[in-house]
Amino acid sequence: MAIASTAASLMTVERDRERAAIARERLRGLEHVVLHVGDWRQILPAHRPFDFLFFDAGVIYDSPEVVDLLAPGGLLVKDDMTPGRPVEGDPVREFLFGHSQLVAVEVITTPETAAIVAAKRG
């Protein structure tokens, strides 16, 4: 909702029908938000490029095609990280910090949580 309420336009995808129904209810009235039910891998490529992607759907290093969805200079955000862990040995950090098309930074969001924000090189 925080992103939906501030974005100029937003597309969100949920493959679980019950969760999608809850999301649809919460997003009711937000004309600039489009909710798709299904697998983002099949739905989002037709709508690329995206300036901003909030990845909250499974294992990011199993989904390298997410980078192809981003516009040059676009931002990819992965939350639910534990702050201050080394890159080596953490497959999420290894993917985001090691990707040749991304420049990533860790942002501490609370004392117990962090997000990684990665920009796609132009």
Residues that bind ligand SAM (CB under 6 A): 13-16, 19, 39-41, 56-58
- Please give the Cα distance from 69 to 60 (Å, whole number): 13
**Helix or strand holding residue 114 (H, E):** strand 113-120
Smallest gap from residue 53 Cβ to ligand SAM (A):
13
CB distance 55 to 66 below 8 Å: yes
By the 10 Å C-beta count (0-12 exposed, 13-18 middle, 19+ buried), 5 is classed as: exposed
Residue 57 or 88 having the CB closest to ligand SAM: 57
Smallest gap from residue 103 Cβ to ligand SAM (A):
25
Smallest gap from residue 8 Cβ to ligand SAM (A):
20
Residue 13 or 96 having the CB closest to ligand SAM: 13
